[in-house]
Amino acid sequence: MLETIWFVLWGVLWAVYFMEQRIDLGVGTLAPFIANNDTDKRLVYNSMGPFWDGNEVWLITAGGVTFAAFPTTYAVMFSALYTPLLLLLFALILRAVALEFRSKETAEGWRKFWDVCHFIGSFVPALLLGVAFANIFQGIPIDGDGIFHGNLLTLLNFYGLLGGVLFVLLFVVHGALWLAAKTEAPLSSKAANAAASIWLAELVVAVIFLVATWFFTGLYNNYLSYPVLWLIPLITVAALLAIRVFIAKEAWWKAWFASSLTIVGATLFGVTGLYPNLFPSSLNPAYSLTVFNSASSPYTLKIMLGVALTFVPIVIVYQTWSYFLFKDKVTTEDLASDEAY
């Protein structure tokens, strides 16, 4: 029972991380295509300035939960996916440095350099996270000793890359809606047009991914066994379609919340289909790491559950407060502040 509770918590934490982080990574990936001058670029940076570092808390929490509750899975995951996870770490560091360093000098070359770094540090994590989770869904070639039989190119298969493309599109649409809601014209108008255009690509890739999931993974087995679980993908699809409805009505915050629900639902769709596996083996199902054969001791799980139930709500309250505190649109007047990016 404790193992299942921790699995649910693990899945929810990853879902929240993706929802929060897609603001930053989506905005950073989209910025070079809609921010045509330094003022627009500064508006982009300041729209996520108060939030981006706080969003990383969810990554640390999700990783910490994996380490504390499922240490065997954590060890094998960081061994098998060592290269993509290391690239992910370097990209996130590059993005953080770019955010802080860009405003230190006014030279055009300096700022363009960090803009490129920020784009790389946003696009690469979006792609890698999608590739990693898609590969987990279809199974990783690990043996009974947890040894990975493959390399980085093994992970760059059709289904893995399809997951990466889907993640990038989800990130970009989410970021575009954020900019449409948080900034003023002309930047908000360009972001709104981008969201409307890219949403169609997101819908097409999502449909292809759902069909491919039937052939490349066993995620649908749980849904066939427990039909009530179909509510998760149905709600997710409804939220995805609602994004376009709200875009047409120029209800940007409603569209953004619909996008948030789409992201959470998409993550929970995969996690629910995965159970009880955490790190399935494509070589032999008997080699798969599950919530039962890779969990910590019951005593550890009990203690950590108390810690999680204490501190996760605190993080939620803090982030809710920060979003309320900085709920207003970012304007050109805000750029005059000494604390502006």
What is the DSSP code string of 44-61? HHHHHTTTHHHHHHHHHH
Cis peptide bond upstream of 227, omega within 30: no
Report pLDDT digits (tens) over 198-215: 999 999 999 999 999 999
| Sequence letter at residue 315 | V
**Model confidence at 334: pLDDT above 80:** no
**Model confidence at 49: pLDDT above 80:** no
- Cα–Cα distances (Å) from 254 to 8, 180, 200, in that order, read 27, 11, 18
Structure tokens at 162: 């399809």
**Model confidence at 21: pLDDT above 70:** no
**For residues 102-111, average pLDDT:** 88
Report pLDDT digits (tens) over 150-161: 888 888 999 999
> What pLDDT band is residue 250 in, cutting at 50, 70 and 90?
very high
**Model confidence at 43: pLDDT above 80:** yes
Question: Which alpha helices (DSSP H) does the chain contain, by range?
Answer: 2-34, 38-48, 52-69, 71-80, 82-101, 108-138, 152-155, 158-182, 187-216, 220-225, 231-248, 252-274, 298-325
> What pLDDT band is residue 338 in, cutting at 50, 70 and 90?
low
- Cα–Cα distances (Å) from 168 to 115, 126, 207, 337, in that order, read 18, 5, 15, 32
Q: Which tops the pLDDT comparison, 54 or 323?
A: 323
Q: What is the maximum span of the chain, computed from C-alpha positions, in angstroms? A: 61
Q: Which tops the pLDDT comparison, 337 or 193?
A: 193
Beta carbons of 122 and 27 less than 8 angstroms apart: yes
**Model confidence at 56: pLDDT above 80:** no
Report pLDDT digits (tens) over 9-18: 888 888 888 8
Q: Could you tell me which of 325, 260, 269, 187 has the C-alpha nearest to residue 21?
A: 260
The rounded distance, in Å, linking the Cα atoms of 217 and 139 is 7
pTM attached to this predicted model: 0.91
**Model confidence at 294: pLDDT above 80:** yes
